[in-house]
Amino acid sequence: MSTVNALLPPLMQRLGVVPSAYTGGTLRVTSPIDGSELGCLAPHSAQQVQQLVDAAHQAFLSWRKTPAPRRGELIRLLSEELRLAKNDLGQLVSLEAGKILSEGLGEVQEMIDICDFAVGLSRQLYGLTIASERAGHRMMESWHPLGVVGVISAFNFPVAVWSWNTALAIVCGDAVVWKPSEKTPLTALACQALFERAAQRFGDAPPALSQLLIGTREVGEALVNHPKAALISATGSTRMGREVGPNVARRFGRSLLELGGNNAVIITPSADLDLTVRGILFAAVGTAGQRCTTTRRLIVHHNVRQVLTERLKQSYLALPIGNPLTAGTLVGPLIDRAAFEGMQQALAQARQEGGQVFGGERVLADQFPDAYYVKPAIVAMPTQTEVVRHETFAPILYIMGYTHFEEAVAMQNDVPQGLSSAIFSNDLRETEAFLSASGSDCGIANVNIGTSGAEIGGAFGGEKETGGGRESGSDAWRAYMRRATNTINYSKELPLAQGVRFEV
Ligand code: NAD
């Protein structure tokens, strides 16, 4: 055992996961910290997927009749479990996904936040009352539970994405079946155990209300194709969304897609450069560049390009890179070898396309021969070339210059993805133009803060190849319910709408 995987058994025990749940199977899970084996899980078969979704559907049929505020009580209990387990689960996120501990804990805090939000929401699933054109009539909207929600999640937010979906789905009266990333199933086992503890304390939640599917994309495909999965909420690469979206549409299911991003920051001449450097640093190298909202492109006015690039390089040289569980580390490892190779290929392509690369090389290979730590890279690009328009899921920050503000906004929008964006500027005309209809085309547009680290109160998601889905706060709950329009006649007449006459 390495010092890293030796941390696992006591954590799992405290989180309520028995060793047999993560040993003896064929799905091998390793820690990105040192490449050591954390567990071998038994994947579900396609037939088991069918059975589990059917069982979840049975749970839905009774759960939908439980009053919504009572459903909220289950999520309140889940938030209590999460508060108690925050340190252990945060550490497990670091072990399995390689995030620094502060970010692992932050991810669990995000779960607690969405639970609190959902508890309040359980008393606010409002519909409208609508004026009817007919005398003695009333119209209204009712929101009803939808069915089984299939959740597919990515490795980089191994627990938060499940909670965004589950907290809302459960108060909305749905059942949940979750297929986590094959790279991070241990955190999923822990979440499931915490949910079951909460359900036990709740008392009369139907069995199978929240289920876990272990396996690779084949298991995800079986979930996607199940006719009783009313909504598929899928988070991951655009490649995955291109497959999942049409498959769900083919059976007229609903999908909520949260896919890749290629997020830019525009820096104008009036920007506060101290603030800008700090904002960019967290957004570009936090989570080792493995957030969907990571800043990947800087579009900088020529007057400040040189000075900003130099200041960023100085900050990059001072970054503590290493074991994410060690206090003081800011940059942990990449998830695996494939991620490292993808990064090196992108840097080679950037050089071919005229880029000047600073950083990007592997470090700590002696200490961690089976893990992949890199120096985050800054690449000065002549223009927004092909490689820049592609999402490489690693810490590469491309810097490009601009002269006119309109040119900067056009560059910001000229990529296939549309997740997050930001502007650093103290010029009101520029910031408002950036936020306007002809400004950023992204689902998230910020002023004087970076592109990553969203709060749960707002709707989260993006446009174009990011998939168009919205989850978490605001009115994202509507995706988890179905809307019925009701017309009620309390008169003794039967007038038809639009003045149509139909009498014998
Ligand atoms: P991935 O696409 O490789 O895998 C994501 C999940 O999809 C996994 O659980 C995988 O098993 C499953 N999957 C893959 N193909 C499938 C198919 N055909 N049918 C059903 N399931 C399938 O992504 P990843 O490498 O784990 O995560 C990184 C990617 O996720 C990046 O592109 C990142 O931008 C994106 N991401 C987006 C958001 C967002 O909210 N927009 C959040 C986190 C990550």
* DSSP class per residue in 260-283: ---EEEEE-TT--HHHHHHHHHHH
DSSP symbol at 44:
P
Averaged over 399-414, what is the pLDDT? 98
Averaged over 335-352, what is the pLDDT? 98
Averaged over 368-387, what is the pLDDT? 98
pLDDT band at 123 (very low <50, low <70, confident <90, very high): very high
Beta strands (DSSP E) in 222-351 are 229-235, 254-258, 263-267, 295-301
pLDDT band at 2 (very low <50, low <70, confident <90, very high): confident
> In this predicted structure, what is the pLDDT of residue 437?
98
> In this predicted structure, what is the pLDDT of residue 360?
98
Averaged over 220-235, what is the pLDDT? 98
Q: Is 185 in the pocket of ligand 1 (CB under 6 A)?
A: no
DSSP letter string, 135-174: TTEEEEEEEEE--EEEEE--SSSTTHHHHHHHHHHHHTT-
Residue 233 has pLDDT above 80, yes or no: yes
CA of 155 to the centre of ligand 1 (A): 7
Element (H, E) at 111: helix 101-121
Q: Whose CA is nearest to atom 19 of ligand 1?
A: 221
Q: Which residue has 């830019």 as its token pair?
A: 264
Q: Whose CA is nearest to atom 26 of ligand 1?
A: 154
Q: Is 181 in the pocket of ligand 1 (CB under 6 A)?
A: yes
Residue 27 has pLDDT above 90, yes or no: yes
Ligand 1 nearest atom to the CA of residue 391, by list position: 32
> In this predicted structure, what is the pLDDT of residue 1?
72
Closest C-alpha among 199, 282, 321 to residue 449: 282
Q: Is 441 in the pocket of ligand 1 (CB under 6 A)?
A: no
Q: Mean pLDDT over all residues of the chain?
A: 98
Measured between its terminal Cα atoms, the distance across the chain in Å is 86
pTM of the model: 0.98
Pick the catalytic residue from 107, 292, 442, 465.
Answer: 292
Averaged over 381-394, what is the pLDDT? 98
> In this predicted structure, what is the pLDDT of residue 220?
98
Spatial strand order of the sheet with 175-179 comes to 210-212, 175-179, 148-152, 229-235, 254-258
CA–chain centroid gap for 188, Å, is 15
Is 258 among the residues known to form the active site? Answer: yes
Residue 57 has pLDDT above 80, yes or no: yes
Q: Is 159 in the pocket of ligand 1 (CB under 6 A)?
A: no
Condensed to tens digits (0 to 9), the pLDDT of residues 71-107 reads: 999 999 999 999 999 999 999 999 999 999 999 999 9
> In this predicted structure, what is the pLDDT of residue 3?
85
> In this predicted structure, what is the pLDDT of residue 310?
98
Structure tokens that stand for 248 in this block: 């769900």
Main-chain phi, psi angles of 125, to 5 degrees: -85, 65
pLDDT band at 402 (very low <50, low <70, confident <90, very high): very high
Is 191 among the residues known to form the active site? Answer: no
Structure tokens that stand for 373 in this block: 């730590």
Strand partners, 485: 141
Counting Cα atoms < 13 Å in the Cβ hemisphere of 485 gives 4
For 177-206, b where at least 16 C-beta lie within 10 A, e where not — what string? bbbbbbbbbbbbbbbbbbbbbbbeebeebb
Percent of the chain with pLDDT over 70: 100
Which residue from 99, 110, 156 has its CB within 8 A of the most atoms of ligand 1, so it is best to mutate? 156
Q: Which residue has 């390009």 as its token pair?
A: 305
Q: Is 218 in the pocket of ligand 1 (CB under 6 A)?
A: no
Which residue from 93, 152, 415 has its CB within 8 A of the most atoms of ligand 1, so it is best to mutate? 152
CA of 238 to the centre of ligand 1 (A): 8
Q: Whose CA is nearest to atom 13 of ligand 1?
A: 217
> In this predicted structure, what is the pLDDT of residue 388?
98
